[in-house]
Amino acid sequence: MKLSSANINVLVKACRKASKILIRDFGEVEKLQVSLKGPGDFVTIADKKVEKILIDDLQKARPNYSILSEEIGLIKNDEEFKWIIDPIDGTANFLHGIPHFGISIGLEHNKEIICGIIFDPIKDEMFTAEKGNGSYLNNQRMRVSARSKLKDCIIFTGGPSFKSNSKDKESSLNEYNKISSKIMTPIRKMGSAALDMAYVAAGRCDGFWQRNLNYWDIAAGIILIKEAGGFVTDFKGDNKYLENKTILATNSKIGDQMIEVLKC
């Protein structure tokens, strides 16, 4: 079985087309044109090209939908529907020839993500989900893991970044220390929040937490995890992850345990 709704088909087509640039440019680090967007924030010509292809395809298919994208910002149309785009999540990995990055797109309807895609073009892994229809990896149904003891779990995180303020850096490091003291396997920092969330949905890891992510980093991951049977909350267990700028994504077993650790 696979997802084949009109919106999913639009997403798959756009990602396949845009990914050709990433596959072509991957590993050509010395040839990539790179500019500095801000402290510690690099943007490549590939980012911009991928974003343009995605926006062009999505606008052609759904001309009335609004778009929020990392590089270009907000294109305001119909507020009922909005595409949330991250053209390359894991740009630093991409720049250094590390094969772990992806395209991430979520579709919001009345402030709720109703479908999404995260595509890893190098591994040819396409994670898709749609509200009420489940989550899939390359057309195979995905489910979150069933591990129920935090100490047995593999947990992912990211940050703090160079531009984080001292308070956020201190909080992130304290959280890292607290979580690492509760699990037997060292915490993983893979460099792509979107793929981290996709891996939670696929059962490859059991939980993920991070501060100060943008909406486009997590939009597609939210629906992937929910449709795979997992939970997405803020660090307090509420649904204010956008407002509070903290996100916790887990299987259905360890959410309360991680919340307890993070709030200590």
Query: Is the pLDDT assigned to residue 257 strictly greater than 90?
Result: yes
Average pLDDT over residues 211-230: 97
User: For 190-217, how does the pLDDT look when each residue is reduced to its tens digit (9 = 90+)?
Assistant: 999 999 999 999 999 999 999 999 999 9
Higher pLDDT among residues 164 and 126, named by residue: 126
Query: What are the distances in angstroms from CA 116 to CA 37, 137, 172, 220, 257?
Result: 27, 12, 28, 4, 28
pLDDT score, position 33: 58
Query: Is the pLDDT assigned to residue 58 strictly greater than 90?
Result: yes
pLDDT score, position 152: 97
User: Percent of the chain at pLDDT above 90?
Assistant: 74
Domain borders along the chain are: 6-141, 150-263
Its sign, for the CA torsion 17, 222, 258, 205, is negative
Average pLDDT over residues 23-34: 70
Residue 163's pLDDT band (boundaries 50, 70, 90)? confident
The CATH classification of domain 6-141, taken from the options 3.30.1490.20, 1.20.120.10, 3.40.50.620, 3.30.540.10:
3.30.540.10
Query: Is the pLDDT assigned to residue 7 strictly greater than 80?
Result: yes
Distance CA 121, CA 112 (A): 27
**How many other CB atoms are there within 10 angstroms of residue 167's CB atom?**
9
Mean per-residue pLDDT over the chain, rounded:
91
DSSP 8-class letter at 6: H
Distance CA 45, CA 120 (A): 19
pLDDT score, position 120: 98
Residue 20's pLDDT band (boundaries 50, 70, 90)? very high
Which residues make beta-bridge pairs with 137? 127, 140
Tokens representing 89?
Answer: 């999540």
Higher pLDDT among residues 163 and 216, named by residue: 216
Query: Is the pLDDT assigned to residue 91 strictly greater than 80?
Result: yes
pLDDT score, position 40: 47
Distance CA 124, CA 122 (A): 5
Query: Is the pLDDT assigned to residue 39 strictly greater than 50?
Result: no
Q: Is 0.85 topped by the overall pTM?
A: yes
The CATH classification of domain 150-263, taken from the options 3.30.70.2860, 3.30.479.10, 3.40.190.80, 3.40.50.300:
3.40.190.80
Higher pLDDT among residues 3 and 129, named by residue: 129
